[in-house]
Each structure stands twice: as C-alpha cells, then as structure tokens.
Amino acid sequence: MENIFTDEYFMKKALLEAEIAFEKGEIPVGAVIVVDNKIIARTHNLTELLHDVTAHAEMQAITSAANYLGAKYLKDCTLYVTLEPCQMCAGALYWSQISKIVYGASDENRGFVKMRTQLHPKTAIVSGVLEKECALLMRAFFRLKR
C-alpha cells in the first residue's frame, strides 16, 4: 500500500488553511505542524483579526504545537507552510528547534533566504512543494487588493 503521507499531502492541508485566510481577508498563508504523520497544529495568518503583526501562520502553529506537546521544543516535528517563512518566523522556528520545514512558494522580498536568516543547524529545509498552487493563491489575493 502506498504511503499517502507525503510532503504534498500535508502541503495540501496547509493550502486549505491558506484558503480560509483568503476568505477572511487575511494574507493567504496556511500552516500545519506534523509529528508521526499526525497533524498536531493547523492555522493560518490572523494578523488582521487579532490586530497583531506577529500573528503569522507559523507563529500560531508553533504556539499550538507546543501547547499540544506540552513542550517548548518541536523536535521530530515538521512544519508545512504555503509561503517561505519571514525573518521573524524563521527566528522563532530556530528557537523551537523544529526538525523540518517544508514550504511552497518562495518570498523573494521578505523570505528568510533573502534576509539571510539562519535556521537551527539540525533543521532540514524543503522548498517548492506545490509551489505553483501556493503562489497562485497569493497572487489572486493581491490582485483583489489592488
């Protein structure tokens, strides 16, 4: 039997969260955190709703996963996020010691790669998973806003 729990499978779950954000008028970034093929956190950007510039999907997911685990470190966890984390989120992910980050679309202007933000040396990075789908949703959102 084929393993359905692939990076694409979990990125589709993050994309569902991004679509919820889109419908709420939030920048459409969605995130899920997975441990042992189980989603333990699912969220999306909440900056508009919470009036909080730090309420990015990744930040919400880190808090939710840490609460679920009862631990501050996210070792053995994977974050799936539809957009490359920004410098702030990458810093929080560094401190969380998350094992793996998988992201969809690159953020050419504000992403951690462009900003040269270091992640934890033990954190694996996978980029470009469902990149087209993630980028399409982001472009559609900003087209509506302009």
pLDDT in tens, 93-123: 999 999 999 999 999 999 998 899 999 999 9
56 is annotated as contributing to ligand binding? yes
44 is annotated as contributing to ligand binding? no
Across all residues in the chain, what is the average pLDDT? 96
- Contact of 101 with 71, CB cutoff 8 Å: no
Examine the pLDDT at 57 and tell me if it is beyond 80. yes
Report the percentage of the chain scoring pLDDT > 70.
99
**Residues carrying an active site annotation:** 58
Tokens representing 95?
């401190």
pLDDT band at 145 (very low <50, low <70, confident <90, very high): confident
51 is annotated as contributing to ligand binding? no
pTM assigned to the model? 0.95
Domain 7-137, CATH number (from 3.20.20.80, 3.40.140.10, 2.60.40.10, 1.10.1740.10): 3.40.140.10
pLDDT band at 78 (very low <50, low <70, confident <90, very high): very high
The full set of domain ranges for the chain reads 7-137
Identify any residues that bridge with 31 across adjacent strands, giving them in sequence order: 43, 81
Dump pLDDT digits (tens) for 23-50: 999 999 999 999 999 999 999 999 999 9
